[in-house]
Structure 1
Amino acid sequence: MQKNIINIAPIINKTTKKKKGDYYAVCWIKNDVSFIEINKVIYKDISNSIFFLNSSIQWKIIKENTNTSSGYVLYLPKRVLDNPLLSQLHINEVALFASNEIPKINLAPGIEKRIQSILEMLDELIGSHLKHKDDAIISLLNTFFVYCDGQCNIKSIISENNTKKNIVYKFKKLVDKRISEYHEVSEYARLLNISNSYLNECVKEILGVNAMQIITEQRIMRSRHELKFTNKSIKEICFEMGFASPEYFSYFFKKHTGTTPSALR
């Protein structure tokens, strides 16, 4: 990897503008930003969100408080996504950066802390002279994109005739919104007006896992967040996530994570 092929900068100044050159930009906005202007359109109320912007888009970020960082802007040359580790990602397959839309995600609870840690490590690595740092940078980028794509429900840029991707996108949105109510593949298939088998077929083809794995992953992720970042009792979390009893919640959680809810807390 050539020197400075990837660049990252904290959002500190009152105005952060697009960098010159043929770069993709990933803007992670943590807080304290007044607005981001993209192609002369102003987006407000954007705390805890990520924007994916291609090189043809004009943008700037405006903030009031210049004493602390309000996130990061990650600049990526297009050839970086050709790396074998990154080229197979779903985020690449759907040509996220090539879209005429403005792809934006709002981060799920707890994910913002992981995103911040990854970007801070990238910032440290890019400015270092450590051996094998290039491999470490690509590995962190891969982790970052996996979180964005898999955990944060990026809206895929989907052609009208790609029915299966549309179904998977709608399924993931439903899981994200209604995971506390529905825990069976059949329930989501009913909401989508398709059969269980066809929903599984679509999810398997697009994401490489079955529909129940997506549901389970979301239940575990939400449960982990509640256990680590709230003062709710294990019993409260258990029933909020739709488990029949604290005992079954503990069994389910340990089966999928290797540890019990009480041990994690």
Structure 2
Amino acid sequence: MKPDSINISQIIKETTIKPNSNNFAVCWIKSEVDGIEIDEVLYKNVSNSIFFLDPKFQWKIFKKGNSTSSGYILHLEKEVLNNPLLSNLHINKVRLFNSGEIPLFKLSPGIEKRTQAILEMIDELLGSNLNHKDDAILSLLNTFFVYCDGQCNIKSVVSNTNSKTNIVYKFKKLVDKNIFEHHEIAHYAKLLNISPKYLNECVKEVLSVSSKNIVTEQLLMRSRYALKFSNKTIKEISFELGFSSPDYFSYFFKTHTGISPSSLRKS
């Protein structure tokens, strides 16, 4: 990569304005932000969101008057997105940056911590002189975009007030909160005062997957994390995640991943 093809900055100023450049921008807004103005239209309630902004858009971010960081802004030249490591990602296939809309992702609870960690590492690497830092940065960008494109996030557009999108976002928050006790779609539909059939219809329309798939992905994500980064036994993990037995947990995990929990732990 050539110098300055990737830049990153924290959102610290009370008003952050798009620089005079033709770079694409990825804005991760964590919190403490009053709104983002895009082509003179102000959008509020944007905390815990990621925006993908084509160079054609003029934008400003307004934050509350304190010195803490409210997120990051990634500036990317087109050549970066065309890199072979990134070019096959869904993020490019659907042309998020120039689709005529302003795509955003509302991050699921818990994912924002991983997002922040990835962006912090990119920031650190950009300021270093380490060997092979370009490869490391591209790998982190790939991971970042995979999270953005994953089923743990809700893709929408900035002007979208569709009630189905709101239902899906509430559903995903409930799943994150209750996944340890409840795996049944009927339970979440009851909490939302809708039928399981309508909940599934909403999820399919917004995310193009089934509502059961959302529960499955959450269970797999938490399973992988516990298996790789904790000292808990497989039995402890299975009961903590609400499975009726370690055998059923192992069956579930192998069915969806192709490997057993013990094999993942050894890898």
TM-score by length of 1: 0.69
1:105, distance to aligned residue in structure 2 (A): 0.8
1:66, distance to aligned residue in structure 2 (A): 2.8
In 1, distance between residues paired with 2:246 and 2:41? 51
Q: Which residue of 2 aligns with 1:114?
A: 114
Q: Which residue of 2 aligns with 1:90?
A: 90
In the superposition, relative to structure 1, how do residues 44 and 129 fare at CA in structure 2: closer, same or farther (>3 Å)?
A: same
In the superposition, relative to structure 1, how do residues 238 and 154 fare at CA in structure 2: closer, same or farther (>3 Å)?
A: closer
Deviations 1:47-106 (A, max 9, x none): 111111100111111112332111000000112111001000011000000022111111
Query: Could you tell me which amino acid in structure 2 is paired with residue 10 of structure 1?
Result: Q
Structure 1 segments unaligned to the other structure (5+ residues): 158-171, 193-198
Deviations 1:122-168 (A, max 9, x none): 001111111111111111111100110014445389xxxxxxxxxxx
In the superposition, relative to structure 1, how do residues 13 and 145 fare at CA in structure 2: closer, same or farther (>3 Å)?
A: same
In the superposition, relative to structure 1, how do residues 12 and 156 fare at CA in structure 2: closer, same or farther (>3 Å)?
A: closer
TM-score by length of 2: 0.69
Q: Which residue of 1 aligns with 2:250?
A: 251
Say which SS state the counterpart of residue 27 (structure 1) adopts. strand
Q: CA RMSD in A?
A: 4.0
In 1, distance between residues paired with 2:107 and 2:156? 15
Query: Could you tell me which amino acid in structure 1 is paired with residue 112 of structure 2?
Result: E
- State yes or no: 1:142 paired with 2:142: yes
In 2, distance between residues paired with 1:176 and 1:62? 28
Q: Pairwise mapping of residues 12-91 of structure 1 onto structure 2 (< 5 A)?
A: 12-91=12-91
- State yes or no: 1:2 paired with 2:16: no
Q: Is the 8 Å Cα contact of residues 10 and 72 (structure 2) preserved in structure 1?
A: yes
Q: Pairwise mapping of residues 61-210 of structure 1 onto structure 2 (< 5 A)?
A: 61-155=61-155, 180-182=183-185, 191=200
Tell me the matched-pair count: 225
In the superposition, relative to structure 1, how do residues 249 and 35 fare at CA in structure 2: closer, same or farther (>3 Å)?
A: farther
1:10, distance to aligned residue in structure 2 (A): 0.3
Identity %: 53
In the superposition, relative to structure 1, how do residues 26 and 253 fare at CA in structure 2: closer, same or farther (>3 Å)?
A: same
Q: Is the 8 Å Cα contact of residues 18 and 60 (structure 1) preserved in structure 2?
A: yes
In 2, distance between residues paired with 1:51 and 1:140? 18
Q: Which residue of 2 aligns with 1:195?
A: none
1:246, distance to aligned residue in structure 2 (A): 4.7
Structure 2 segments unaligned to the other structure (5+ residues): 158-167, 176-182, 187-195, 230-235
